[in-house]
Amino acid sequence: MYLLAVWFVVCFGPGFASASVPTVFVSGVSLADRDLDASEIGGTVEWTEPTVTTAVTGYDVGFAYDASGAAFAILGSLALGTNAVNIGHDLVIGSFTNVVVYTVNAHGRQATPQAEALSDAVAIVSSVTFADKDLDVTEVGGDVTWSPPSDTSPVTEYYAYLATSQFGASRSQIDAVVPVGTNIVSLAPETPINLYGYIVVYTKSSLAEQTTPVSGVLSDTLAPVSSLLFTDRDLDADELGGPITWQEPVDTAQVVGYTVYWAEDAAGSVKAVITSLPAGSVSHDIVANTPITSKTHVLVYSLSSLAEQSTPVAHAILDRSSSVTNLAFPDTDLDAADIGGDITWTAPLDTSQVTHYSVYFALSEAGVGGAQLGSDIPVATNLPVVPLDTPAGSYNHIVAYTKSALTEQTTPVGLLIHNAYGAVTDITLEDKDLDAGQLGGTITWTAPSDEAQLVEYNVYLATSSAGASRSQLGSAVTLHTNAIALPSDFDPVLLTHIVVYSASSDAEQTTPSFIALSDTEASVTSLDFTDYDLDGGELLGTVTWSPAGDATHVTLYRAFLAADAAGTSRSQIEGDLDYGVMTGPGTNKVELPVDTPAPSYSHIVVFSASALAEQTTPVALAISDSTQSASSTTFTDLDLDPSDLGGAVTWTEPAETAQVTYYVVYLATDASGSDKSLVGSDVMGVFVGTTDIDIAVDTSLISYSHLVVFTRSAFAEQTTPDALTLADTGIAISGIDLVDLDLDLYDLAGSLTWDPASDPTLVTHYALYVSSADGSSRTQLHSDVVVGTNALTLFADTSRGTNTHFTLYARSSLAEQTTPAGYALIADADGSVQDLTFGDRDFDEDEIGGTIHWEAPVDTSEVTHYAVYRARDALGTGYIQVGNVVSVGTNYVTLPVSTPLSTYTHMVVYTKSSLDFMTTPAAVVIADTPVITTTTRWTIMNAEATTPRQDGRWSTPEQGSQWRIKELEFYSDFDCTQRLVGSSTLSSGNTGKYHVPGMAFDDNLDTEWHAQCSPCAAEEAWLGVTVASVVRCVRWLQAPVLSGSGVRSVIFNIGGVELAKAPGLQGGRWEGLQYAAAAGGWQRIC
C-alpha cells in the first residue's frame, strides 16, 4: 500500500510516491487431483511462501496454457499467510496445462508465476454386472459387482445406484457406501424396478464423487411356473387327494427349487408349506383324506439362491364331493323278514373322477359292519338288484360309495331299509298360515305297512271325525305320496276335521283316519323405532319388536318401510330375519342405516312368515321424522397469514335437540362437506349445548372453501350440514425502509418506516424484528407498535447481530402472524474508513509524527465528518484527538513531529453521520520508526526524467541518457558521520558490465553506476541498499542535470514507500537529505 507523508524540504515543496509489483516467487506449487473424472480436475493447490515477503500482500492462483502463465484463468486471490486454496471439483481442464501462483501487492501481479504441470487423475470402475435373482416381475434383487480402477490410490469409496439412464438420471442409492477393496454391493430382494433401467457405479475421492458413472444394464428376471393344476381325486367333501402339476419357467437360470403351499387366497394369506422341491420338479402328490381346513388355493413359488418369489402362481382348489343322491330301495318283498327289489340312485353331478360304485348292506348309515353286494359297479352300467326272499338278518341299512382312480370314498350315502305293512297312521297338519282365522300347510300321514293292494288315498275336510259333511281336498293322492297341500289363507268356516281314506282299485275305506283342525296366530308385539338421523326425509335407528307368543311355525320376520299401516308400496329393511337364530326379546330387530331415504314412507310394518307363507296383515308403527340442524354459522379469521386460519366458529342450536348429542365442525371444499377436515381434536365433536369451537391459529386453508357444522346423534352424523363460505384474512405490508445513521457495521439507528396495511380492520399491532434471510432466527426491535403508527425509532447502537433482514408481523387480537407481512434487506451503513495508515516520520525514539491517512468508506452517503485520535488500544480507549474534525472528502490529518508517544498504541479514526459518531473506530498500530531489527530497503529514485530542461545553451543535450551516480552513501546519524556498513546493494538494473551498482559504493569517484534505461522516465531507475538499521542521512554524487545523465528531483524511499523528496537538484556535486527533528523532519542538503 502507499503511505503518504509530509516531508519538510528547504528548497522546494513535496513530491509524489512510487512503487512496483513483486518480483519474488513462491515455491513447492502442487495440486493432487481428487476429481476422478477424465478431463476434470479438483482438489487443493498448495505452495510455500517466498523467503522475503516484504513487497507481497497476497497471491493469485489459477490455470494457464503454459508455465509462463499464458491465458491465465484466476481461481482465487489469497491474502499473505494463506498457502493453500481448495478449488472445488468438476473443473474442466480444456487447454490448460499448468497451475500457476503469482505473488501480488497493491501495485499488481508479478510478471512470471511459479508453475506446476497439471496431472489429471482418472479412476473409474469397469465391468459393472448384475444378475437378478428376484424372480418376480418388476422386482429385482441380487449382487452388483464391478472391477476396481487400475489405480485406487485416490479412491476412498464407491457408490452404487439404480438409475433411469446410463448417466445416473433419477438415481436411487443401493445399500450403503462401499469402501475401497470391496467390489460388490447387495440389492435387496423385492426392490421395485420402477422406471430404472441401469445400475451406475461412482468412485469417490476425499474431495468429491465422480460426475460421470460407469453403468450396467438392469435386467429383470421373471421365472414363475405355468400351467399349475390340482386335480382332487378324493371324492369326500372337505377332503383332498391327488396330483399337483406345473410346468417349469421358460428361464430357469436363477431357479434352484420350488416351494408348494396351501393358502387361504391367491396372494398367499395364511399359507402352509406342503413341500419344497429342487429345480426340475414338475409335480407332487397329495395323499387321500387330506383335510381341506380353510385353505382355498394351491400356490407354487419359484426359489432362487437369493430368495423365494413374493408373488406366487396360484390355482383355486376345487373340492370334489361326488356322492350319489336319491338312494332308494323299495322293498317289493312283502314278507316281514325278507327283502327284495331294485336299488337305485342318482349319479353325482360331477362324475369326472368317478370310476366305480360299491354297494353294501350295513348296520348303520355310516356303513358299519358292511357286507358288499356283488362287486364294484362301473360308472354308467346296470344298477344292482336285491333278489326276492333275501333275508334281512340284522342289516338295517343299504350304503353306496363312489370310487376314483385314487381311492374309495370314506363316507357313504346310507338308506334305512323299510320293511313295513299296515294302515294309514300319524295324520298331521302344521298350520303355517300365521294369520288368525286362516289355515295353510301340508297334510301328511304314514302309509300302511303293507301297501301291496293300495292304489291311492283320498283326503277330505269334514265337520266330524267320521267324515260328516266332508269336502274333498284336491284330487286322489297317488300311492306312496302320503301328503297333500292345504293352500294358505284357507278359511275353514264350520269344518273341524281332516279325514284320510285309503283306496284300492275297487273301493275307498269306510272308516277314515282323522285329526282335528288347529289354527296358529303369530304376530309380533311391542314394535318400536326412534329416528336418530337428524336430516329431514332420512331415517336412522333400530326397529325392535317382541316375538309372537306362539312362534312354533315362524321361520322368519320381514320388516318394511311402507306408505300405510297395511304395508302398501313397501320397501324391505335389511333381508329376511331367520327366526331360527332368535333367542327371545331384545334380539328381534333390524337396522335402518344412516341416511336411509324415506320420501313417501309413513309406517314401519313387520310380517311374520312360516315355511308356507308370509302373513297377510302386518303389525304397523307410524314413523316420526324430524330435522335437527345447526344454523347461523359465523367465523371471523383472526389469523392474519394468507392461507392460514384462526378464530372462533359459532352457530345457533336447532329448536329441537332431543336426538342431538354433539356438534361436529369441519373445513370442507364445498357447502356439502366434501373433503372435510375435522376442527378440534375430538372426532365426536362438542357436546350439545355448546355453540362455539376454536380453530387453532396457523390452521392451513389448503383448498378448503367452507366451514360446515353437522349435528350428530348417538348413532351417526347428519348428511347435510349448515355451511359458511370462508373468508381468509391475509395482511401484507410493503415499503419497509431504514436510512441507517449508525455508521458501525452491525449497528443500526434511524427511523424505520413502513406502509400501513391496506385493510387494518383486524390488525391491533405490528411487531418488527431483525432476522436471518430464512427467518429461522430473529430478534424483536422494541415492543409491539399499535396499528395506526407506521414508524419506529431505532436509537444508536441498536445491534442487528448477524441478521440480514427487517421482518414485520401483523398481530390480531388472537395471535401474531407466523409468516411475516413484509420484509426488506437491511442496508447496514458501514462508515469505517479503509486502508488506514500511519508512517512515523519522527526518527526519535518515543516520539512520533507524520500523516495519518485513510481511504474513504465504500459508501459515504451518510458520512459527514472524520475525527482522528491517539488511543491506548484499537477500540479507542483513553483517546486524545489529533488535529480537528475534518469534513468528508478530506482523508488525512497530520500529527506534528516530536509528539510524545506516551502510552498510546494506536491511531483510530471515527466517522460521523448527521446523528452521531460511530462507536467502533478503524485502527492502526503506531510503529515508532527508530526501532528497526530486520533488513530494510533504503533507495533513491529518479523523481523526474533524465532528459534535461532546455535552457537555450548549445551545450545542453536535447536527449537524455542513463542516470549516472558516482557515489551513494547512507549514514545512521543526523550529522552524516557514521556511515552504514554490512549492507547489500540493490538497483533497478544497470548498463554494461563496468557500471554495476557496486561502482557507486566503492569510494572511487572515477567509477559510476549507469541505470538500465536511456533516457530514464520518472521513477524508472533506483539504487540503494538493504540494511538492518535506521538511515538518518543519505548523500549522493550524480552527473550534472544539464548533461542529460542527472535528475532534478530525487525520491528517498524506505521499503518502496516514499520517505522524503529532494527537488531542485543540479548534480555534479554532493547533494542529499538529512533528518532534523528540531527543524520539523527531513531537510535537503544543498
pLDDT single digits (tens) 412-457: 998 888 754 446 778 888 877 777 788 888 889 888 877 776 778 8
Q: Which of 7-16, 184-193, 679-688, 978-987 has the lowest mean pLDDT?
A: 7-16
Average predicted confidence (pLDDT) for the chain: 87
Pairwise CA distance, residues 501 & 473, whole Å: 12
Provide the pLDDT for residue 10.
31
- Looking at the DSSP bridge assignments, the partners of residue 515 are 498
CA 1008, 1016, 1027 angle in degrees (round to 5)?
55
Q: Which of 335-339, 571-575, 785-789, 970-974 has the lowest mean pLDDT?
A: 335-339
Count other C-beta atoms under 10 Å from residue 375's C-beta.
10
Radius of gyration of the chain (CA): 58
| Side chain identity at residue 841, one-letter code | R
- Residue at grid coordinates 474442466: 92
Asked whether the beta carbons of 877 and 870 are under 8 A apart, the reply is: no
Statement: residue 5 has pLDDT above 50: no
Statement: residue 1013 has pLDDT above 90: yes
Statement: residue 56 has pLDDT above 50: yes
Among 128, 137, 136, CA closest to 158: 128
Statement: residue 932 has pLDDT above 70: no
Among 828, 800, 815, 1085, CA closest to 940: 1085
CA 742, 743, 745 angle in degrees (round to 5)?
100
Pairwise CA distance, residues 41 & 77, whole Å: 19
**Hey, is 1038 helix, strand or coil?**
strand
Confidence of residue 273 (pLDDT cuts 50, 70, 90): very high
Statement: residue 370 has pLDDT above 50: yes
DSSP assignment of 136-171, as one string? Answer: STTEEEEEEEEEPPS--TT--EEEEEEESSTT-TT-
Strand 58-64 and strand 178-179: the pairing is: unpaired
| Side chain identity at residue 782, one-letter code | H
Residues with Cβ within 8 Å of residue 986, at least 6 apart in sequence: 937, 939, 997, 1023, 1024, 1025, 1026
Q: Is the dihedral of CA 543, 548, 554, 560 positive or negative?
A: negative
Provide the pLDDT for residue 557.
87
Statement: residue 181 has pLDDT above 90: yes
Confidence of residue 332 (pLDDT cuts 50, 70, 90): low
626-649, pLDDT tens digit by residue? 788 999 999 999 998 999 999 999
Burial of 661 (0-12, 13-18, 19+ CB in 10 A): middle
| Side chain identity at residue 448, one-letter code | P
Asked whether the beta carbons of 211 and 132 are under 8 A apart, the reply is: no
281-310, pLDDT tens digit by residue? 999 999 999 999 999 999 999 999 988 898
Count other C-beta atoms under 10 Å from residue 1073's C-beta.
26
User: φ and ψ at 1045, to 5 degrees?
Assistant: -120, 10
Cell of 462: 269334514
Q: Which of 7-11, 837-841, 866-870, 1052-1056 has the lowest mean pLDDT?
A: 7-11
Provide the pLDDT for residue 333.
55
Statement: residue 66 has pLDDT above 90: yes
Q: In the predicted model, what is the mean pLDDT of residues 942-966?
A: 78
Provide the pLDDT for residue 134.
87
**Hey, is 900 helix, strand or coil?**
strand
Among 634, 674, 1075, CA closest to 842: 1075
- How far is the CA of 527 from the CAs of 543, 569, 618, 697, in angstroms? 7, 20, 11, 51
Asked whether the beta carbons of 563 and 600 are under 8 A apart, the reply is: yes
Residues with Cβ within 8 Å of residue 221, at least 6 apart in sequence: 131, 132, 133, 134, 135, 140, 251, 253, 254, 304
- How far is the CA of 706 from the CAs of 641, 725, 727, in angstroms? 18, 4, 9
Pairwise CA distance, residues 248 & 359, whole Å: 43
Confidence of residue 624 (pLDDT cuts 50, 70, 90): confident
Statement: residue 523 has pLDDT above 80: yes
CA 366, 370, 374 angle in degrees (round to 5)?
125
- Residue at grid coordinates 509528539: 899
Share of the chain above pLDDT 90, in %: 53
Cα torsion through 705, 709, 715, 720, rounded to 10: -70
Buried b or exposed e, range 929-948, using 16+ CB within 10 angstroms: beeeeeebbbbbbbbbbbbb
Burial of 176 (0-12, 13-18, 19+ CB in 10 A): exposed
Asked whether the beta carbons of 500 and 471 are under 8 A apart, the reply is: no
Statement: residue 81 has pLDDT above 80: yes
Provide the pLDDT for residue 336.
52
905-924, pLDDT tens digit by residue? 999 999 999 989 999 999 99
Statement: residue 756 has pLDDT above 70: yes
Q: From the centroid of its chain, how far is CA 555?
A: 60
| Peptide bond just before 378 cis, omega within 30 deg | no
Statement: residue 1062 has pLDDT above 50: yes
Q: Is 454 left (phi over 0), alpha (psi -120 to 50) or beta?
A: beta
Pairwise CA distance, residues 21 & 440, whole Å: 128
Pairwise CA distance, residues 727 & 761, whole Å: 14
Among 753, 756, 757, 766, CA closest to 811: 766
Pairwise CA distance, residues 646 & 635, whole Å: 9
Statement: residue 507 has pLDDT above 90: no
Burial of 1004 (0-12, 13-18, 19+ CB in 10 A): exposed
As a three-state string, the secondary structure of 349-376 is CCCCCCCEEEEEEECCCCCCCCEECCCC
Q: In the predicted model, what is the mean pLDDT of residues 825-852?
A: 85
Confidence of residue 520 (pLDDT cuts 50, 70, 90): confident
Buried b or exposed e, range 335-347, using 16+ CB within 10 angstroms: eeebbbbebebee
Max distance between CA atoms of the chain, in angstroms, equals 188
Asked whether the beta carbons of 321 and 410 are under 8 A apart, the reply is: no
Confidence of residue 929 (pLDDT cuts 50, 70, 90): low
Statement: residue 2 has pLDDT above 90: no
Statement: residue 105 has pLDDT above 50: yes
Statement: residue 1029 has pLDDT above 90: no
117-167, pLDDT tens digit by residue? 999 889 999 999 999 898 888 999 999 999 999 999 899 999 999 999 999
Pairwise CA distance, residues 132 & 216, whole Å: 12
Q: From the centroid of its chain, how far is CA 853?
A: 58
Secondary structure E strands in 878-978: 880-887, 892-900, 906-912, 922-925, 936-942, 964-971
Q: Is 642 left (phi over 0), alpha (psi -120 to 50) or beta?
A: beta
- Residue at grid coordinates 435387496: 188
Provide the pLDDT for residue 732.
93
- Residue at grid coordinates 519474488: 24
Residues with Cβ within 8 Å of residue 681, at least 6 apart in sequence: none
| Side chain identity at residue 624, one-letter code | S
Buried b or exposed e, range 508-536, using 16+ CB within 10 angstroms: ebeebbbbebeebbbbbeebebebbbbbe
CA contacts within 13 A on the Cβ side of 100: 24
560-607, pLDDT tens digit by residue? 999 998 889 998 998 887 765 444 444 688 888 888 888 888 898 988
Provide the pLDDT for residue 952.
54
Cell of 558: 320381514
- How far is the CA of 568 from the CAs of 178, 300, 617, 625, in angstroms? 80, 57, 11, 19
